[in-house]
Structure 1
Amino acid sequence: MNSIQTVQTFLDHVFSGRMPEALALVADDATFIPSRPQPSSKVPLYGTYRGPEGAAQVFKTFAAVLKPEQFEVEAAFGEGEHAALHGKLKHYSVATGKPFVSDWALVCRVSQGKIALYHFFEDTAALEAALSA
């Protein structure tokens, strides 16, 4: 698999509930940043996470905070170890029921067939608005 295929396979596993298969594609020393690298008491998804355990925590927190409805990949491109994808998403806040709609981009580095860097970019103001009461 090339880098783009690795990332797309990872996302397919995540969104179909196959976390063991997804985590098998994460390097032991991977860095996962699900929007902002600094943690926040207001948004539990912010922060920097490490390795398969950190990736598992990101998606466990995601499931506790957001109910996914739509995750559309519009394009994917990359070269060598690098992969980038972008698209649109629509999720709902579990706590407030408010929608969270955003364009998104994902930048990854894949090393030896495993994700070494996963940095997700989205409209953080819209995320914070959806999560706030």
Structure 2
Amino acid sequence: MAVASLFVEGSGSEKVLRSGLKTVVGNGMRSTFWDLNIKENGQLRNACPRIYALATRKQGVISDFERWRGTQWVWDVSLRRPLFDWENEQWRVFLSCLDCINIRNSIPDILTWLHKPDGKFTPLCCVLYVFELVLPILASRSSVGSAG
């Protein structure tokens, strides 16, 4: 089985494996804007569902939602309509989520593997991690089978 097949959406392994991956944002050229994990709030689209619903652009990488004004990063998120008064607080929450994103124009975005100290993902480290998860289950089944 290929390692990539473990990431099939809806598979039990997908959630476990994705929890070990973290995007470190650099220049925003590879990281998907709405899928960014914003601290404890999860993905940006889930942390700010109203703003996501109003956004004209639902897909794209971070760099599609920004522009540099001189040396300053300016977010460029277009909405389908002006905000109602009751939505202004949600917009402020959205902007505070964006403030958590540290853009560094000089380095590329990278994907790190949280289950390895150096953060480098390899198929072998993925297999070893899955083996660590499965080994206790296999051991308990083995002891149940030999008890009978």
TM over 0.5: no
- TM-score, normalised via structure 2 length: 0.27
Structure with more strand by fraction: 1
Structure with more helix by fraction: 2
- TM-score, normalised via structure 1 length: 0.29
Structure whose CA Rg is larger: 2
Which structure exhibits the higher relative contact order, with contacts defined as CA atoms closer than 8 Å and separated by 6 or more residues?
Answer: 2
